């Protein structure tokens, strides 16, 4: 991987990790669940980049493989878990369960050392 691409990836991961921390803090602080859902979706969009629509449409194991970096899969999974919590607060239990299932596959694909 070129150093320019690696630098881009590091910036992307750093931004996603910062968004994840903020969302977790806001969720714990009682922020509106609808806002958390929108912000988590936006953070995932930033993390996945121009391929976001395609990656979201694929099964999570395939999507994780196409990401090219297990750290991206792990962050995606963690963001989905935050979104799932907010969806559950909104009374969207089925949507929350689907997000949790997707997150579990992404986190498994990322491996324990990548979280």
Whether residue 2 has pLDDT greater than 90: no
pLDDT digit string, tens, across residues 17-50:
999 999 999 999 999 999 999 999 999 999 999 9
Task: Report pLDDT for 115.
Answer: 47
Determine the pLDDT at residue 68: 86
String of b and e for 59-79 (b: at least 16 CB within 10 Å)? ebeebbeebebbbbbbbbbbb
Residue 26 burial (CB < 10 Å; 0-12/13-18/19+)? middle
Query: What are the tens digits of pLDDT across the range 50-99?
Result: 999 999 999 999 999 999 899 999 999 999 999 999 999 999 999 999 99
User: Which residue shows structure tokens 């750093």?
Assistant: 14
Query: Which one, of 57, 106, 112, lies nearest residue 78 by Cα?
Result: 106
Distance of CA 63 to the CA centre of its chain: 12
């Amino acid at each position: 991987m070129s150093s320019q691409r690696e630098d881009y990836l590091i910036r992307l991961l750093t931004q996603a990790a910062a968004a994840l921390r903020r969302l977790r803090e806001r969720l714990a602080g009682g922020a509106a669940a609808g806002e958390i859902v929108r912000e988590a979706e936006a953070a995932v969009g930033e993390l996945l980049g121009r391929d976001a629509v395609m990656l979201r449409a694929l099964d999570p194991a395939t999507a994780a493989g196409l990401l090219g970096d297990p750290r991206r899969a792990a962050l995606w999974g963690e963001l989905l878990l935050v979104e799932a919590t907010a969806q559950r607060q909104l009374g969207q239990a089925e949507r929350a369960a689907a997000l949790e299932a997707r997150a579990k596959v992404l986190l498994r694909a990322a491996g324990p050392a990548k979280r």
